[in-house]
């Protein structure tokens, strides 16, 4: 994290300088008449989007929530490695790692062939595969995650905070105007304002308001899918037990009593149990059965035999039925038209599934992390409004993958064991399926198809380990200026900037005439350079596209090499030099990024990474025209 660029300020560096004329908030303050973006819902999807937009005070953002305040407990808890990489960009990954429970192993328990009424451990799998990510898989109270995003919002230049106690009861889009064409009717849900209604006009609306989304319904969206006709209970508990793996993630299948998932939670004492209850009839809802927390505890004790749990306190519990559903569209564009979208849905508002794979909260945030930078680009005039069409195209494909994979996983979990599995002649199917799904459950299986934002793999061989369309896979480097060991991917912040990583060829030390020097000079000075072409007068050279370089030499071999001015630019209103754009291979044994990511050593390459951390292009260091053409297809 860099700060003091615009002058020294004491205090917490995470608290940004407040923008002038920011909106006053409070129970007696009026709502604005119009905003650029109105977000419905303060769940993970809505807060992730709000935290991005809050960094841009020139974009008037409003986030409304029907509830009177943030939640305190319950709901989702699993954060996969891909989402942790995103948290790094927001600046709170280290805090999350310190506070949370890490999932290091997943254990599998099945009926004991010698005594099928008892369970035994049949497998243990490392939960995060080696070098799949530098981040752990963690478990956290969703309410605490909300607090972290709310803190980012409150510390931002716009000092953004939610407007609690308001729900959307009406939404209309006027396609004949570009001046705040979405009219949203809000109703007081708290009773403080006697259920009054207010009207707010917006340029864009994003519905992150759950499976019963008013925004989705307003644009004619419908969730299509099926139900598994199975009631499940979930409870966060403080309990004593003789079950030996209670502080590890466990998937437990009994012979006749159903299944249990155990998830250890932060703090060392709380753990979560997902407990399979009764089968449901067609059209029947779990709520109609009137299950209680005692029913869940009794079922868990039957499934866990010969072990038992003695519950001291139920922190939170809920009953639900599993469903897999997907909306037919993620925005308001009528089918068969070329109108640009004005209203979007994200998270549970457009896809629902079981909690067994731990993907709901993660995929919801990835939805809005995809959308946020695109909204900023369009609202700032840096990209045409047609860019926003890519949100539905990219995220709908991933939602389909999510629902299909989760559907298959749910069937595997509920399937009876075979005789070969029970007798130990065959690895249990649930273990095999879990191993096969590790990339998916880590959040790293996302692959965006070729488009204006994702180049074809013409030069993929230059960086085989950084697949175009997949998330940029970080690796260790050493920063030249201060010899600090770090992850290269951690330089990327949630600031909507693109990144270009220049990987130098063999023996290239950026001396005059070298490939890195020639490319850096072109990027800084040529009218066709995307840095020059797409920046505005008076902006820093890296305002839109941040360029970093990685060399094959070690720190001591390169420390005195003169670097091109692009790699030591003068930035900010004081014109201070940025020393943090040059890196070397790690010389202390953490790994060589060129080897780890299959980067061609002889000639090197450049890797273009989108603001949401996905690799958009791989090019040779002399691919000037191709680089210019790529950005010309995205930015104004």
Q: Would you say residue 420 has pLDDT above 90? A: no
Mean pLDDT of 52-59: 97
Phi/psi region, residue 560 (left: phi>0; alpha: psi -120 to 50; beta: rest), is: alpha
Kindly report the backbone phi and psi dihedral angles of residue 236, in degrees, each rounded to the nearest multiple of 5, phi listed first. Answer: -95, 125
The CATH-assigned architecture of domain 460-632 is 3-Layer(aba) Sandwich (3.40)
421: enclosing H helix or E strand: helix 419-422
Q: What pLDDT does residue 426 have? A: 84
**Sole residue written with tokens 């309990």:** 239
Q: What pLDDT does residue 406 have? A: 79
CATH superfamily of 10-98+140-222+328-412: FAD/NAD(P)-binding domain (3.50.50.60)
**Upper half-sphere CA count for residue 582 (Cβ side, 13 Å):** 30
pLDDT bucket at 67, cuts 50 / 70 / 90: very high
Question: C-alpha distances in angstroms, 472 versus 132, 148, 177, 339, 520?
Answer: 11, 24, 39, 32, 22
Question: C-alpha distances in angstroms, 470 versus 55, 450, 456, 466, 536?
Answer: 26, 11, 12, 7, 30
Q: Would you say residue 411 has pLDDT above 80? A: no
Higher pLDDT, 344 or 291: 344
Mean pLDDT of 452-457: 98
Going by C-alpha positions, the residue among 446, 338, 466, 459 that lies closest to residue 397 is 446
Q: Would you say residue 42 has pLDDT above 90? A: yes
Mean pLDDT of 201-214: 96
Q: What pLDDT does residue 29 have? A: 82
Cβ-in-10-Å burial (0-12, 13-18, 19+) of 26 comes to: exposed
Residue 115 and residue 110: Cα distance in Å, rounded? 11
Question: Encoding tokens for residue 454?
Answer: 């994702």
Residue 72 makes CB contacts below 8 A (sequence gap 6+) with: 143
Mean pLDDT of 394-411: 85
CATH 3.40.30.20 domain span(s) along the chain: 460-632
**Upper half-sphere CA count for residue 512 (Cβ side, 13 Å):** 0
The share of the chain scoring above pLDDT 70, in percent, equals 97
Going by C-alpha positions, the residue among 347, 278, 343 that lies closest to residue 45 is 347
> Rounded mean pLDDT of the chain?
92
Question: Encoding tokens for residue 354?
Answer: 């079981």
Q: Would you say residue 229 has pLDDT above 70? A: no
Residue 172 and residue 411: Cα distance in Å, rounded? 41
Residue 476 and residue 542: Cα distance in Å, rounded? 23
Mean pLDDT of 225-248: 89
Instruction: State pLDDT tens for residues 470-517.
Output: 999 999 999 999 999 999 999 999 999 999 999 999 999 999 999 999
Q: What pLDDT does residue 8 have? A: 77
Kindly report the backbone phi and psi dihedral angles of residue 105, in degrees, each rounded to the nearest multiple of 5, phi listed first. Answer: -135, 150
Higher pLDDT, 567 or 322: 567
Question: C-alpha distances in angstroms, 264 versus 198, 269, 315, 542?
Answer: 44, 8, 14, 43
Q: What pLDDT does residue 553 have? A: 95
Cβ-in-10-Å burial (0-12, 13-18, 19+) of 222 comes to: exposed
Is the domain spanning 101-137+227-323 CATH 3.30.9.10? The answer is yes
Higher pLDDT, 114 or 547: 547
pTM across the whole model = 0.94
Q: Would you say residue 220 has pLDDT above 90? A: yes
Instruction: State pLDDT tens for residues 317-351.
Output: 998 877 778 998 899 998 888 899 999 999 999 99
Q: What pLDDT does residue 407 have? A: 77
Q: Would you say residue 460 has pLDDT above 90? A: yes
94: enclosing H helix or E strand: helix 93-99
Mean pLDDT of 120-144: 95
Q: Would you say residue 200 has pLDDT above 80? A: yes
Q: What pLDDT does residue 230 have? A: 73
Q: What pLDDT does residue 27 have? A: 73
Mean pLDDT of 416-422: 74
From the centroid of its chain, how far is CA 75? 17
Mean pLDDT of 596-604: 97
Residue 485 and residue 555: Cα distance in Å, rounded? 10
pLDDT bucket at 161, cuts 50 / 70 / 90: very high
CATH 3.50.50.60 domain span(s) along the chain: 10-98+140-222+328-412
């Amino acid at each position: 994290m860099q700060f003091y660029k615009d002058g020294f300020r004491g205090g917490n560096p995470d608290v940004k300088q407040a923008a002038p004329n920011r909106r006053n908030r409070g129970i007696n303050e009026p709502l604005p008449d119009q905003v650029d973006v109105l977000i419905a819902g303060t769940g993970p999807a809505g807060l992730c989007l709000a935290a991005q937009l809050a960094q841009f005070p020139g974009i008037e953002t409003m986030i409304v929530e029907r509830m009177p305040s943030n939640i305190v407990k319950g709901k989702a808890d699993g954060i996969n490695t891909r989402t942790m990489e995103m948290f790094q960009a927001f600046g709170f990954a280290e805090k999350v790692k310190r506070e949370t429970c890490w999932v290091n192993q997943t254990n599998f328990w099945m009926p004991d062939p010698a005594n099928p009424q008892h369970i035994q451990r049949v497998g243990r799998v490392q939960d995060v595969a080696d070098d799949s990510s530098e981040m752990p898989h963690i478990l956290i109270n969703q309410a605490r995650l909300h607090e972290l995003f709310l803190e980012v919002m409150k510390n931002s230049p716009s000092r953004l905070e939610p407007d609690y106690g308001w729900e959307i009861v009406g939404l209309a889009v006027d396609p004949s105007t570009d001046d705040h064409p979405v009219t949203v009717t809000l109703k007081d849900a708290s009773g403080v304002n006697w259920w009054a209604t207010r009207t707010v006009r917006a340029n864009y609306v994003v519905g992150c308001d759950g499976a019963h989304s008013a925004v989705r319904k307003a644009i004619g969206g419908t969730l299509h899918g099926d139900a598994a006709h199975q009631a499940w209970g979930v409870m966060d508990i403080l309990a004593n037990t003789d079950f030996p793996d209670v502080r590890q993630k466990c998937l437990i299948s009994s012979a006749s009593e159903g299944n249990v998932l155990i998830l250890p939670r932060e703090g060392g004492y709380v753990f979560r149990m997902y407990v399979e209850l009764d089968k449901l009839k067609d059209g029947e809802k779990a709520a109609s059965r009137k299950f209680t927390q005692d029913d869940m505890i009794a079922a868990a004790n039957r499934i866990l035999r010969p072990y038992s749990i003695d519950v001291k306190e139920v922190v939170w519990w809920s009953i639900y039925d599993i469903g897999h559903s997907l909306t037919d569209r993620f925005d308001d564009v009528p089918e068969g038209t070329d109108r640009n979208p004005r209203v979007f849905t994200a998270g549970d508002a457009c896809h629902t599934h079981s909690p067994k794979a731990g993907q709901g909260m993660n995929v919801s945030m990835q939805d809005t992390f995809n959308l946020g930078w695109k909204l900023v680009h369009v609202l700032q005039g840096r990209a045409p409004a047609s860019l926003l069409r890519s949100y539905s195209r990219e995220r709908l494909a991933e939602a389909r993958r999510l629902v299909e994979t989760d559907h298959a996983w749910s069937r595997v979990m509920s399937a009876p064991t075979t005789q070969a599995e029970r007798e130990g002649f065959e690895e249990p199917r649930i273990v095999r399926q879990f191993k096969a799904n590790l990339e998916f459950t880590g959040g790293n299986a996302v692959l965006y198809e070729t488009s204006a934002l994702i180049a074809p793999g013409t030069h993929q061989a230059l960086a085989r380990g950084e697949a175009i369309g997949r998330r940029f896979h970080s690796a260790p480097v050493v920063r030249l200026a201060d010899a600090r060991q770090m992850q290269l991917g951690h330089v990327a912040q949630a600031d909507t900037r693109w990144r270009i990583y220049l990987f130098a060829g063999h023996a290239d030390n950026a001396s005059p005439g070298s490939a890195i020097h020639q490319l850096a000079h072109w990027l800084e000075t040529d009218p066709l350079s995307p840095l020059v072409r797409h920046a505005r007068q008076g902006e820093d050279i890296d305002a839109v596209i941040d360029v970093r370089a990685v060399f094959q030499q070690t720190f001591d071999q390169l420390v005195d090499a003169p670097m091109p001015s692009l790699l030591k630019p003068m930035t900010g209103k004081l014109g201070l030099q940025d020393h943090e754009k040059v890196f070397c291979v790690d010389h202390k044994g953490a790994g060589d990024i060129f080897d780890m990511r299959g980067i061609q050593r002889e000639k090197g390459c450049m890797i273009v990474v989108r603001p949401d951390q996905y690799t958009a292009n791989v090019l040779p260091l002399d691919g000037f025209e191709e680089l210019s053409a790529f950005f010309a297809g995205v930015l104004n």
